[in-house]
Structure 1
């Protein structure tokens, strides 16, 4: 894999990130509506308070041209008057509000596809668990003692929700790593280490989420460097 990721094509739905995480959801929706409704009618604003969705939201417009104009003009805007500029991209998938305009049948099909994708990710997780069992490291078998974990090599560390990345390119950014690791369910955040090049941490909501992400990035390359992905020491 490389640091180059393909931007989603223009669509009616904007994906917004880098929002202050301590903003209450009703206040966030009102602020997004005030900022984006200047460009055209808004069909829906999606924002949740769970860990995975903190600092993120979706704004759904009636048409693509309106969404394009809003993306260009609001990109980098400090929504709450601080130095935290919004990062805006087109969403990777269509929202229910957009699909529903085509009719109930299309909306039902859209929901079926979304559920199928959810099932696919669940199957990936279950396959990863079975693989660990075959390797003698099933999650259900219990964790090694703290003493044995301290003496373990990186590859032998017990699963936890934080991955430790080594051998990263010196110029890697948090955004580049996010684009790679947010593809896996339960992604929470990337943390670079100030003053230290070549390493980073990636946190997920659960140990199981991190297991799937680790399995999926075993052969990860960023630039021309093979990245070492292990569980973090506790």
Structure 2
């Protein structure tokens, strides 16, 4: 403490000494406003001197005799020299600052380098605004990919359409249409209306109307040819993930239930096969089964 006090008093009383002291890292500052609190004074000095280079320590005196004095420690002599020349006589809290090189670095720095670095880092942290945190945008998962079409299944479907049962049904439809063409217009209209009414009654009694239902793992297929087999439907639906089983309804032709072990696989099958022409005259309707 005595060495520091002797250094401060010598530098303060003799202006010629400041000129004879060789440049070094540490500046001695006096004639500071003694009414400023120590913490505020150190913060203000840091903000002032840091623009000339990296400040690694600020030591402000706390005693009555040492009030109004401070040491500024730079990491580079060139930076301390630039600050001395630029800030000499600057009005600081209403008083002109007096700057000179400290007599010896060892007399000015009372703390170890580790202590100075720790205190200065804390001072710098209180003088700089905290960086804004960048908000991350929510990641949108990609849509699930559908399985590629099964070429073997496509060939099996073509074979089914060319089968004897399908051809027999197509010939019967063609014969019925030819018969209608031979009828007079009035009789033809009545015949068509009676057929439509009979079909509507049959569908209404045999197959309940399906209402809009929520997604689930069971599908309901309608408008199937009467000769549709379980094996034919299985070839269509087993290409989709999670397929479990096909259930035909005994005594009710043209409908079937298809079970999956997950809703995703059922939804993929529904989107792909709804409206699929399972025969030349039947476009299959696929919906979610009502639970």
TM-score category (smaller protein): 0.3 to 0.5
Provide the TM-score with structure 1 as the length reference: 0.38
